[in-house]
Structure 1
Amino acid sequence: MGAAVPRIAPVLLGLAVLASLPFVLDPYWLRIATGILMWAGLACAWNIIGGYAGYISFGHSAFFGIGAYAAGILMGNRYGLPFGVALLVGVVAASVVAALIGWPTLRLRGAYFAIATWAFAEMLLQLANILDITGGTAGLTLPPLLDERFFFYAMLVAAVVTYGASYFLLERSRFGYRLKAVRDSEVAAESLGINTTLVKIQAFVLSAAIPAAFGSIYAYWITFINPTSVLGAYIADQMVVMVLLGGLGHFWGPAIGAVSMYLVNRIIWTEWANTTAYIAILGAVIAAVVLFLPDGLVSLWPGTRRLRLVRALARQMGRLSPRTGTAEEKP
């Protein structure tokens, strides 16, 4: 108990600092902080399937868009449902779609899985462009709520839940051990009795439900959505780049990558408002990280690489039970 207090104290302090930001930041920087929380959560969600499961997905914009359109359709003039109901419907819809899509596509590996998820996201984008219920290219307008603090705290709660779920489900549970075993060697995991198909689908559903929640909050936040704004490929692309920049498969990697990339984005747009400059500078930064920090920015933290080696060694020494395929309990 005594050892756990120093470990949780920095987390509680960080949450207290974040919770106080709306009272000390001006409206512009409060929107920046809200955007950082959103992208940190989205990057963490993608890290579940990309970092912990080892499947590179370029289709996560689809789940973000499902959540956004759930809010846009259900909160509009036609139905007028409250935000909480719309968010829940979006999360459930994205989870169901992920399970249906994941069953066949997760049998693929490498570039084949990446292309399949990208094609699925593009299909949804084209459907949103022509369907009446989505408003087509004209988009949808949600009831306005001019309260920046509400959206900051909504994003903060969603981000805290996302990282909490990632920590307890992937870093401290049998499910996390199984998922990492599947990532490291699917054949070996199956030989240990792990249902690899079920584990992969569960991870895919979890990584899809989270973007749907953020998509619903985002749609309510910006009031107006269209297919490109919530289903565009750049959304999934930025998730991927943020995770690779921060550190693929690391718990804090997505947060570090999201903060770094989003701040660079905003600073460049504020100073130059130039898309070419942003792409050039960001490309140079990413190239430097890939060349000199292949484990991402998180590897600058002392002991990060050693921790990865310790985990790999622990797996090799048989922390997975050959009878059940789960992590063995230690006294």
Structure 2
Amino acid sequence: MRYAVTAVCGLAGLAVLAALPMWLDAYSLRIATGVFMWAGLACAWNIVGGYAGYISFGHSAFFGIGAYATAMLMQRGVGWPFLATLPVGIAAAAAVAALIGAPTMRLRGAYFAIATWAFAEMLLQLVNVLEVTGGPGGLSLPPFLDEFFFYYVMLAAAVAAYLMVWLLMERSRFGFRLRALRDHEPAAEALGIHTTLVKVQAFSLSAAITALFGGVFAYWVTFINPRSVMGGEITDQMVVMVLLGGLGTVWGPALGAALLWLTNRMIWASLGDTTIYLPILGLIIAAVVLFLPNGLVSLLPGGGRLRRRGRKLLAGMVRKL
């Protein structure tokens, strides 16, 4: 009965979101599209940070891989259609994640965080000097100025990401194995779980979802450069969105993403500048750790279990660092 009610509520919510563009102006439509993108990115980071318990500061690299795959394949000399470029970016990001994840996922705590940050910075510098990526000048994509199209593409991508996470992380053996190694990795190994393989699989899945949104973003904005799609602030925002919404929960990242992105746009609309946004992110991190370690989802009905789990996850993350 509970699942039937959840399904009905979910379908009703999707119907509302599908009809929403009819009541939004062009600017509001772009903001809503951005909410879906950041919700999907936060969902992707939550697989590694929330369900696996490993803090990654390198997800901007996977976002950039997806963006550059789409941009490079849609250049005039190649001329691929947009939808055909997305699987290439997804596959490339997943392969790179598996390649670097095999050695780095054996590291623990701050060592893994530093390794992923170093990888992202290395890739950023590489893209800056390669001619095929346009160097620091970036790449332009064929313009397609249809906000409705990108709204629905981002919505579909976000729905697919959350549905996949719900099925894999909450309802499958893979999710149980991943959470088992997060809670106590030596015990999971003693039970016969190949922990390194499970972590690499989770890392690759997270990278693939991140690259999907990177590819859509590139076509949406029609111009990219290394800093716009591989800057460290992209990962920083993913991390804060997940912490604010609820680490290791299905819907927490969506709540955190919506609140922070709307805050970002309100600051820009009021001040014409988002410089103050980064200090706000720092204050939010401090406030979450001190007063709301379980995230916003714990304030919803039935949040007692989430409060207990949130404190446990955040405490485990701090210990690993």
TM-score (norm 1): 0.91
Match for 1:206: what amino acid? L
2:256 is the counterpart of 1:248: no
Distance 1:281 1:211 in 2: 24
* 1:196 paired to 2:200: no
CA distance in 2, matches of 1:275, 1:200: 36
Who is 1:141 aligned against? 140
| Residue identity opposite 1:175 in structure 2 | F
Does the 8 Å contact 1:42/1:211 carry over to 2? Answer: yes
Equivalent residues in 2 for 1:40-79 (5 A)? 40-79=39-78
Letter in 2 for 1:248: L
Residue 250 of structure 1 deviates from its aligned partner by 1.2
Instruction: Indicate the larger mover: 236-245 or 278-287.
Output: 278-287
Q: Which residue of 1 aligns with 2:263?
A: 264
User: Could you give the per-residue CA deviations for residues 279-304 of structure 1, whole angstroms, max 9, x where no partner exists?
Assistant: 34444444333321111112211322
Contact 2:240 2:284 in 1 (8 A): no
Q: Distance in 2 between matches of 1:165 and 1:76?
A: 31
Q: 1:118 to 1:282 in 2, by over 3 A?
A: closer
Match of 1:20 in 2: 19
SS of 2:189's equivalent? Answer: helix
Q: Determine the structure 2 residue equivalent to 1:297.
A: 296
Q: Distance in 1 between matches of 2:194 and 2:176?
A: 13
* Partners of 2:233 and 2:283 in 1: CA distance: 18
Q: Cα deviation per residue 1:158-189 (whole Å; 9 max; x = unaligned)?
A: 00000000000000111000000010011000
Aligned length: 312
Aligned-partner Cα distance in 2 for 1:58–1:266: 24
Cα drift, residue 143 of structure 1: 0.6
**Counterpart residue type for residue 75 of structure 2:** G
Q: Which amino acid aligns with 1:88?
A: P
- What is the aligned-residue identity percentage? 67
SS at match of 2:53: coil
Distance in 1 (alpha carbons) for counterparts of 2:297 and 2:283: 18
Instruction: Confirm or deny that 1:239 pairs with 2:234.
Output: no
> Do 1:245 and 1:296's aligned partners in 2 also have CA atoms closer than 8 Å?
yes
Counterpart code for 2:168: L
- Unpaired runs of 5+ residues, structure 2, are 312-321
Which amino acid is the alignment partner of residue 272 of structure 1?
L
Contact 1:22 1:30 in 2 (8 A): yes
1:106 aligns with 105
In 1, Cα distance between equivalents of 2:3 and 2:278: 43
Which residue matches 2:155?
156
**Structure 1 unaligned runs (5+)?**
313-331
1:241/1:307 CA distance change after superposition, 3 Å: closer
Letter in 1 for 2:159: V
Amino acid corresponding to residue 251 of structure 1 in structure 2: V
Q: Which moved more, 1:241-250 or 1:156-165?
A: 241-250
Based on CA coordinates, which of the two structures has the bigger radius of gyration? 1
- Residue 308 of structure 1, CA deviation: 6.5
Say if 2:46 and 2:242, in contact at 8 Å, map to a contact too.
yes
In structure 2, C-alpha distance between the alignment counterparts of 1:46 and 1:20, rounded to whole Å: 29
The answer on whether the counterparts of 1:75 and 1:142 sit within 8 Å (CA) in structure 2 is yes
Tell me how far 1:274 sits from its aligned partner.
3.6
Determine the structure 2 residue equivalent to 1:186. Answer: 185
User: How many angstroms does 1:4 deviate by?
Assistant: 3.1
Coordinate RMSD, CA, aligned = 1.8
